[in-house]
Structure 1
Amino acid sequence: MSIPKDYNVEVVRREVVIPATVIQEHVLPFSNIDLTVPPCGVHVFFCYDKPFQTSFASVLSSLKSSLSRAFVSCSAFAGRVVSHGDGDLQMVCNGKGAEFSEAYADICIAQVEFYNPIAAIEGKLVPLLVKDSEENGSPVFAVQVTEFSCGGVVVGCTFDHRIADSFSANLFFTCWANVSRNEPNGSTTPSFTRSILVPRDPPNCFEIEKMYTRVHPFPQSNMQIPQPPITSRIYYLSSKDIEKLQQNANQNGNKYTKLEAFSAYLWKMLIQGQEVENIMNCNMGIVVDGCSRLTKMGMPSNYFGNVIALPYARARAEDIKKEPLSWSAKVIHDVIYSAANEEHFQSLVDFVEISKPSSVFARICESIDEPSFVVSSGLHFPLYKVDYGWGKPCLASHYLTYVPGYVMPTPSPYGDGSWLIYMNLLVDQLNAIESHPDFILCLISQNIFGG
């Protein structure tokens, strides 16, 4: 059977799911790190083979009921972002809920070309965050559940990045799934402590301006700025190839992580494949998760919000091309090390404070004249623990198209150390790396469904 290049999805019903109990309206302050995140939606989708022993109507009923109960533990996702006249933003936890859409696709889920997310996902399987009204503010979470002709199901979610990073959002997805299975949440119950990421008195943010800049107003995700054509892919990388990359990077007694080795490899592929001029500077950003690194500051492991920094490495194209993989891995390692500590995050908090009312923006995101991309690791996300009661996902991935040059590796569904890698790149970048003789990634296959 030939694989269709396109398919139709019809949304037949939209409703709003609210918390199961009344939420006392309150304001959840944005932390200073929340304020460094652009106003964009992040999409996450979970694909399931046909749930046996239950109907799609029962699936929908169970998901809505458990979502309502999960909102009691995570009231932020049922609230609204409200903007005041002076541009100040507030997260109002008012229990107004999230839109829940029911949809139907006209093909079998195994026929969908998920390796090409722009064609397969965008405008089909993930919802938009639709504003209620200017007075009510902007919703921060939405869900679309789609049934395919074979009975397969996709649960597509969109959340406002200003409210949560991907780690926090995955805490909520796991919490929601646990509620759906009537199991205890334990450490997945989100913590909304806001007394940790506070500025020092006096602030001390020496050298943080190397990585961040002040902007006013904050760049909007819907700005009408001409953009070069972008495209996205989801690739598979075997554990064997990951280990080879790490072995190639670990030279002269140095040891680097699998993520550092992969990032160095991709940096080299992009620069060599695009034939970048030798004298040009090339940038590679790494999203550093601070949640596990701020224990002395009292950061709980289930913190809900943004605890991310975006340092970046810069090197000349000539060096990236000619030096061995171990050289690029060390450059990346040193950048991660410089930010993976409490002082860096505290300095970022301080810098945001003294920059107000201007916004703070990662410098790599404005490097439009130099080849740049960002790697954000999802390797510790519990994507395949999101079991709502009818089995684990056979495919799960994030999907973010705000800026070109975004790469996120996540675990594969096989549990054997292999990865799935989402890339959102310029078309020229993607063509360059896919045609490179040393490119080792494979597009994911539809065979991922049904075993």
Structure 2
Amino acid sequence: MVSIESHSTIIPSKPTPNPKLYSLCEQIKLRTHGPVLNVYNAPNNNNTSTFLETLKNSLSQALVIYYPLAGRLSLTKGGRWELHCNAKGALFLEAKCETNLNDFGDFVPNNNLVSQLIPKINYNLPIEEIPLLAVQLTRFRCGGFTLGVSACRAVIDGTANSCFMNLWAKLTRGENLSENELAPCHNRTMLNSRKVAHSQSLHWHCEFRPAPQWVGRELGNSREVSVAIVKLTQEQLLKLKKNANSRVSFQPTVSKDVIIRRKPYSTFEVIAGHIWRCVTKARYIGNNDQQTRLSTLVDIRNRLNPPLPSGYAGNATFPTVTPTRSFNDLICKPLDNAVDDVRKAVERIKGEFVMSALDYIDREVDMDLLRYNIFGNPAKSVRDGESKRNPNLFVVSWMNFSLKSADFGCGGPVYFGPGYMDSEGKAFIMNNGYGDGIVVAISLEASCMNSFRKKFYDDIEEVFSTSKL
């Protein structure tokens, strides 16, 4: 078991700017924290007390550069967030585990021991007292250690958090920072429609509308959520991509003197579509007309004109959703139908559409309702006193996050992934760390998990065998 030995507050090592930051993009984010687990082999310096102090000192220096993470949120009119850069600091926990890292096997999120490696956030405190960043260093008997990091979703996204972690690691190693690393962009007004020209085009923002609800009969009262890790080898991934792209022509097509070449589906598009179909099959109980949709988040840093600065350090992800499909439609049609839905959902998030979305958020009166429509979990909703099942899927890509750079002096993490998954029907797609496969962490109702696992692998072989006939 894991025991907490100490806790402290780490404040910036130097005075920092103290503005109040506001971003329309961040208004639709939850105030909860995204838990990430990094697992490391033993550091070269076996003096644990020295390593601990180095880690704390470098975090204090990193918070000078990423000073908003040392601040606090406050609530304004209509349930909107405002970020006070007041240097109140980050929470740092030191813990010990009387076991070896090898005893864990796969670091499956929500596993009893794994969940103890993530710092716990007390949401019963007033919002102005809740730290935006919490870190837990857990030392193991073998000398290895884990860093559980919880960062508030309302102020930072995965891309910015990855940059922060890499910078913190570089400071821990005692290396000099580049000019770009020293000056991340904290200007939140870049994603504030009140500071830019309003979009003149109206768009239907289905991503802000309520998700389909489960209808009809239930399978019992148990709603226990199970989390699993499923892996794809490079060979299996190539089979999936070949199948998804088998009915698509990549030859140039001339239309009005313009040559249009259809791109092959991306790794994310293919895997997300495959997961969506397999989850739907696992949930299927003869309810052909049950409606479902897939949602995901898109990093818009390079999707605006002009693009955001590469070092934009806030949350710059926008939600997007596929068209709503029936279970029967999704299951019976070929894989590329689901994959194409994912592509269209991702491709719409750019320029004018984003400006229109910002205007929509700016005009919204009830931000709590809007957040629930985007991220609310139908499996936890209450209707007539009963918990309802979830027919939808939320998929997040972590494939672009660099693992090797988060080296605190003992090499990059041997494992990187979500430390806890707090809702049913959610999946993370990640590289396996060796560059030759994909890892998917997924949460589903326990009663559906075995069926999902089987279909996840069986469907790859079935479609590949059929395609060779």
Give the shorter-chain TM-score range: 0.7 to 0.9
Say if 2:108 and 2:114, in contact at 8 Å, map to a contact too. Answer: no
Cα 1:63–1:161 change in 2 (3 A) is same
Say if 1:173 and 1:386, in contact at 8 Å, map to a contact too. Answer: yes
Post-superposition Cα deviations, 1:116-135, rounded to whole Å, max 9, x if no partner, equal: 32124554101023479649
Q: Which residue of 2 aligns with 1:107?
A: 99
Kindly provide the amino acid, as one letter, of the partner of residue 72 in structure 1.
Answer: V
Say if 1:213 and 1:361, in contact at 8 Å, map to a contact too. Answer: no
Of 355, 363, 382, 2:402 maps to: 382
Kindly provide the amino acid, as one letter, of the partner of residue 300 in structure 1.
Answer: P
Of 276, 287, 297, 1:287 maps to: 297
Pairing 1:36-185 to 2, within 5 Å after superposition: 36-84=28-76, 87-121=79-113, 123-130=115-122, 134=126, 136-185=128-177
Distance 2:246 2:110 in 1: 38
Pairing 1:351-362 to 2, within 5 Å after superposition: 351-359=360-368, 360-361=370-371
Segments of 4+ moved more than 4 angstroms: 84-88, 120-123, 200-205
Q: Please state how far the C-alpha of 1:298 moved relative to its aligned partner.
A: 3.9
Say if 1:249 and 1:325, in contact at 8 Å, map to a contact too. Answer: yes
Post-superposition Cα deviations, 1:369-388, rounded to whole Å, max 9, x if no partner, equal: 65101111111011332001
Q: Which residue of 1 aligns with 2:205?
A: 209
Q: Which residue of 2 aligns with 1:22?
A: 15
Distance 1:290 1:435 in 2: 35
Cα 1:272–1:93 change in 2 (3 A) is same
Say if 1:237 and 1:440, in contact at 8 Å, map to a contact too. Answer: no
Distance 1:118 1:412 in 2: 19
Q: Which residue of 2 aligns with 1:434?
A: 453
Say if 2:98 and 2:141, in contact at 8 Å, map to a contact too. Answer: yes
Say if 1:214 and 1:361, in contact at 8 Å, map to a contact too. Answer: no
Distance 1:244 1:88 in 2: 46
Pairing 1:236-247 to 2, within 5 Å after superposition: 236-247=231-242
Cα 1:412–1:185 change in 2 (3 A) is farther
Q: Which residue of 2 aligns with 1:411?
A: 431
Distance 2:418 2:245 in 1: 30
Say if 1:164 and 1:306, in contact at 8 Å, map to a contact too. Answer: yes
Q: Secondary structure at the match of 1:291?
A: coil
Distance 1:165 1:159 in 2: 9
Q: Secondary structure at the match of 2:276?
A: helix
Q: Please state how far the C-alpha of 1:303 moved relative to its aligned partner.
A: 0.7
Kindly provide the amino acid, as one letter, of the partner of residue 393 in structure 1.
Answer: P
Distance 1:331 1:85 in 2: 37
Q: Please state how far the C-alpha of 1:140 moved relative to its aligned partner.
A: 0.3
Number of equivalenced pairs: 420
Q: Secondary structure at the match of 1:100?
A: strand
Post-superposition Cα deviations, 1:17-67, rounded to whole Å, max 9, x if no partner, equal: 1111122432222x1110111221111111011223432222211110110
Structure 2, unmatched stretches of 5+, are 212-220, 250-263, 379-388, 461-469
Say if 2:115 and 2:419, in contact at 8 Å, map to a contact too. Answer: no
Q: Which residue of 2 aligns with 1:9?
A: 2
Distance 2:288 2:358 in 1: 36
- Say whether residues 1:318 and 2:328 are aligned partners: yes
Distance 1:155 1:237 in 2: 26
Cα 1:237–1:121 change in 2 (3 A) is farther
Q: Please state how far the C-alpha of 1:252 moved relative to its aligned partner.
A: 2.5
Distance 1:41 1:364 in 2: 16
Kindly provide the amino acid, as one letter, of the partner of residue 239 in structure 1.
Answer: Q
Distance 1:214 1:327 in 2: 23
Distance 2:44 2:366 in 1: 54
Of 346, 349, 355, 2:355 maps to: 346
Structure 1, unmatched stretches of 5+, are 1-7, 216-225, 442-451
Cα 1:211–1:203 change in 2 (3 A) is same
Kindly provide the amino acid, as one letter, of the partner of residue 27 in structure 1.
Answer: K
Pairing 1:248-267 to 2, within 5 Å after superposition: 248-254=243-249, 255-267=264-276
Distance 1:301 1:40 in 2: 25
Distance 1:227 1:355 in 2: 36
Cα 1:252–1:356 change in 2 (3 A) is same
Between 1:10-19 and 1:276-285, the stretch displaced more is 276-285
Say if 2:139 and 2:146, in contact at 8 Å, map to a contact too. Answer: yes
Q: Secondary structure at the match of 2:371?
A: strand
Q: Please state how far the C-alpha of 1:248 moved relative to its aligned partner.
A: 0.8
Q: Please state how far the C-alpha of 1:269 moved relative to its aligned partner.
A: 1.1
Of 380, 386, 392, 2:412 maps to: 392
Q: Secondary structure at the match of 2:237?
A: helix
Say if 1:208 and 1:348, in contact at 8 Å, map to a contact too. Answer: no
Q: Which has the larger radius of gyration?
A: 2
Cα 1:131–1:243 change in 2 (3 A) is same
Q: Secondary structure at the match of 1:435?
A: helix
Kindly provide the amino acid, as one letter, of the partner of residue 207 in structure 1.
Answer: H
Q: Secondary structure at the match of 1:196?
A: helix
Q: Please state how far the C-alpha of 1:156 moved relative to its aligned partner.
A: 0.8
Q: Which residue of 2 aligns with 1:444?
A: none
Q: Secondary structure at the match of 1:285?
A: strand
